[in-house]
Every structure is written in C-alpha cells, then in structure tokens.
Chain A
Amino acid sequence: MEKFIILGERIQIMSPEVKQAFIDRDPEPILSRAKDQLAAGAHYLDLNIGPASKNGEELMVWGVKLLQENFDNVPVALDTVNAKAIEAGLAVYNRSKGKPIINSADAGDRIGMIDLAADNDAIIIALCCAAGVPKDNDERMEYCQTMLERGLSLGMEPEDLWFDPLTLVIKGMQEKQLEFLEFIRQLTDMGLNSTAGISNASNGMPDALRPLVNRILLAMAMEAGLSSVILDPGAPEIMDVVRTVNVVLGRTLYADSYLEL
C-alpha cells in the first residue's frame, strides 16, 4: 500500500460507554470517539459491535450510517463475528472514500468471512490462526496460505487480504515477540498486506507502561513492513511514532513541521 493505514479502535463493545451507547442507540459517545480518532489521524474507523447475536443487523446498519453520514462517508471496518450483521452493514455502506473492511476471518470457524468479502468486494482482515494461538510461524504461514488461496479462488485481489499475525501479550509470551516481527517480515517479502492490533502486546501491564511498549513495538513492526495497524490514534505520541517511522523509512519527505502534518 502507498501509505501506512491507521484503523481507529476506540468504537468497541468492550468499552462500557460504547456498549451503553449501542444499547440506547445514543449517537453522542460514538460520534465523539469517531471525531477524536479522525482528528488524531485515523484513516478507517473500526466499528466493533461484539457478537451481537440478537439485533446485530440493525445495530450494524445504525452504526455504519451514523459514522458515514456524520463524517463524510469515512471508511469503516465492520467488526463482529455475526456475518448477517456484516452483510446488513455492507448493504448501506458508501464506498466513495474507501472499500469496507470486514474484521475478521480466520483459518478456522470464521473462514467463511473471506467468502463474504469476496462477494461484496470488501477488504478482509485475515487472522493467521484457527483455534488458539499458533505454535510457530510455520503454522501461521499455513493459515495464511489457506486463506490467501481461498480469497484468490473466489476472485479477490491479494492486496484486499490484510493478514494479521496475531499480536500476543509480552507479559507471559515474551518468547513469541520476535516470531511476530519475523512473520510480518515474511508477509512483507511475499508482497502481502498486513495489520495488527498492536496494543494487545501490552495487555496486563501497568497503565503507565502500556503507551511506551505500544510505541516501541509499533515502530519495530513498521520497520518489519507492517502495512496497517489497529490502535487508538489519540494515545500519547503514538501518531508521532507513525510519522517519524514514515520519515525514517523514506515514505514521507522530512520537513521541520512533519509532526504537524
């Protein structure tokens, strides 16, 4: 991809405020989070409605329309395991500012999401796992190949599959971190797009440490070739890291005010 893509992660059901807003169909907290993330530099907004087994379709339609109508058809990542909800969201999605992203498929039970992406000309985030954490990169690569072949056989362009190596917590799985970076490098060497939920790595750490850890891991993953990321662009200095790495990697021409751009 020409530029490093930021998916803003803050509209998600795990947040009590967002959850309540979904229940009440209260636009305000959602719009406020969307606005902050776009101002901070998000290109896509992730809309995580959770499993939403009861009223997922209606909720996804409400969310997609709310975001796109208020923010000039901002591109959205439709984030749920509920395929019907995704289909309903795609039906009202406006593509003028970018293709929709489906978040996400895996190589196990959720592989059908790739079919959904193929049928709807959407981008799919493809988690390189099936059940549980892959034991090594060989296993990750098998999943990646399976999903890539499925997408291609259904007529998808390879660049519309964004492979997620699965970010693992550092605290407890320290030995997996190098593997994670190596896998991004392998995807990059294959010319494939990638994405990652970087902040998962610092889960369980004291709050004071998390921003630093996220910043450093993001810089290292970008150097390995990561082509997009799912994060909170309003987190302290995280976008400064993106801008600085883009300068160091030569994606952006340096100017003294580069952090303000």
Chain B
Amino acid sequence: MPFKHNPQVFSSSIGETVLGTGEKALTLGGENVWSLYSFDGAVKNPPAVGIEFSDQGPDRSLPGVAAAYEGAETLAELAKKAEQVPGVQFVAFRLAGSDPNGDNESVADSVAKVKEVADAISLPLVVTGSNNIDKDAELLPKVAEALQGKNALLLNAKEENYKGIAVAAVTAYGQKVSGESAVDINLAKQLNVLFSQLGIKNENLVENLGQGVVGYGFEYIISTVERVKLAALTQNDAALQIPVISPISTEAWTVKESLATEEEIPEWGSREERGIGLEVSTAVASIAAGSNAVILMHPASVATVSKLIAELV
C-alpha cells in the first residue's frame, strides 16, 4: 500500500513571545505542528539556542570553553565573546553570586553585573536569578528596572514569588517573564493562569516546566513537555499556548557524569566530551518533545544543536 501523508496541522497554535529589540530580536513559539514536524507544516519559528555563562566566569578547565572566552576577563568582555559563539541566538546570564547560600552578593552588586552584560551585547538577554525564592523576589524586580528598554526575559518566577516579579518585570518595566514549575503540569498551567489574572498577556510569557538531564528521570520531563503541548495544540488550552524554555546547561554540567575528572574515573574518558554529550542529547530530546528554546553552556553543544535545528526545520 502506498504511503499516504496526512499532515497534522492544528487549528490552535502556540503564542509568540518576542525577546530583545531591533534586528537581533528573537521570536519564540508560534507553531501549529508538533516540534520539528516541518513535513506537516511550516515551523513558524524554529527552536532557539542560547549560551549561558554565570557571574562566576566560565569553566576554563574545559579547553573548548577556555578557547571561546580567551582573553575575556570582565563581564562585558565575556558577554561579547558569548554572543559571538557560532549558532547563538540569545545570551543567558546567571547571577550565581547572589545566592544567599553562596556569596550572597547585594542586590545592587548583582544589578550592576546584569547591566554590564546587557550593555555589552546586542542579542536578547535571559537572566537567571539566585534560585532562592526570597532573594529572587527582591532581586528580579530590580533587575527588571535596570534593564528597561532591553525586552529581556527573567526566569524563575515561582508559585511563591511570581506576583512581585511578574508585575515588576512585565507591567512596570516591559520585560518578559517565565514561570518556573518543577515538572508539575498542573502547577505549570496554574502559574500561567495566575499571570493572566494579573493582567499579563501570553505574549509576555515563556514557561520553564522544570529541567533535568538524560539518565535522571528524564522521561518524566519529556512527558510533561509533551502533555503541555498536547493541551495547547489539541485542546486549545490558552493557558498553555506559551513558548517553553529549557535551561539545559545547569543540569547537564552538574551531574557525576560531567563533573568527575578523568583522573578520578579514567575509563570514562574526557570530561569535556562527556558533558557535551549529556548537554546535546538532553537539549535535542527536549526540543523533540516541544521545547522552543534551550540554554546551553558549551560552544560545541551550541554548534551541534543549532546545526541540527537548521537541517531539520
């Protein structure tokens, strides 16, 4: 029997959210087909790839990373190097130093850092906070204020602190905000409902459904992303018609397989290659499940994933 192609094009679609400004502005979402299914219909905006570095500086013990950031010392210099990595469409900057359980830097210091990075680049900026609920509630509104006019995306608005962050980021200072839920589809939807009840429209939202790395209960993460896209596309669920962002790097480079040195476990081979492998496979699987943007750390991962997207879409 000859193959009959029945394209699955949905009457509902994911909303579009624009990050950044000017020529380098980036639109996420907008699709009405399954992720990467360009054979069913045009993929309006292919999944985007971003590169992340933190205020602690890049991990120069990895030769590929050291080469990419060679000669860059200040945050502004690092940011410029980051946005020049081939395949990068946005820069993600993590305020690791603001964590109260770490350096516990002042809000003013963190804001100054973000400003330095934002002023150095022309690509859209994504900011990750301290990952502490109380600190982020204080920090992220100030970040939003400092980034006026940049149309940046602030991650980490959680159930406990979403209100102040979202109102400051979107309503007061014109940024975009992402709800963060920990692999809980019902909470993911609830957060978006709460945003809408604050008067925030979908076009100002992104969603982070919770991330993990392959080999660590990853199937659960995949099924969450798929279920969200299923509701958005097949059930026309407006509360989920929002682009998904997947912060891969922080997960991929913090597990034993990417932390153990070659001296510790010689039979595992190069640490850098292991980490890239984890990062690439996690990113590609997340994109296949429906993610609209992935945040990566290693330039080789960025090159691989962006090439894959370019060839498939």
Q: A3-B236, A256-B186, A257-B197 are in contact. List 9 more A-B contacts (CB 8 A).
A: A253-B228, A253-B231, A253-B235, A254-B186, A255-B187, A255-B193, A256-B190, A257-B190, A260-B197
Smallest Cβ-Cβ distance to A257: which chain B residue: B193
Q: Which residues from B are CB-within-8-Å of A260? A: 193, 197
Give Cα A135 to B97, complex, Å. 78
* 24 A-B pairs (CB sep. < 8 Å): A2-B234, A3-B235, A3-B236, A252-B231, A252-B237, A253-B185, A253-B186, A253-B189, A253-B227, A253-B231, A253-B235, A253-B237, A254-B189, A255-B187, A255-B189, A255-B193, A255-B239, A256-B190, A257-B190, A257-B193, A257-B194, A257-B197, A260-B193, A261-B193
Interface SS majority for chain A: loop
Q: Which residues from A are CB-within-8-Å of B190? A: 255-257
A95 at interface by CB-CB < 8 Å: no
Interface SS majority for chain B: helix
Smallest Cβ-Cβ distance to B192: which chain A residue: A255
Q: A260-B193, A261-B193 are in contact. Are A253 and B236 (CB under 8 A)?
A: no
Binary CB contact string for chain A from 220 to 261 against chain B (1 if under 8 A, 0 otherwise)? 000000000000000000000000000000011111110011
Give Cα A55 to B73, complex, Å. 85
B209 at interface by CB-CB < 8 Å: no
Q: Which residues from B are CB-within-8-Å of A257? A: 190, 193-194, 197
How many of chain A's residues touch chain B, expressed as a range? Answer: 10 to 19
Task: Give residues 228-258 of B contacting A (CB, 8 Å).
Answer: 228, 231, 234-237, 239-240
A77 to chain B, nearest CB (A): 22
Q: Which residues from B are CB-within-8-Å of A252? A: 231, 235, 237
Task: Give residues 175-189 of B contacting A (CB, 8 Å).
Answer: 185-187, 189
Task: Give residues 1-23 of A contacting B (CB, 8 Å).
Answer: 2-3
Q: Which residues from A are CB-within-8-Å of B228? A: 253
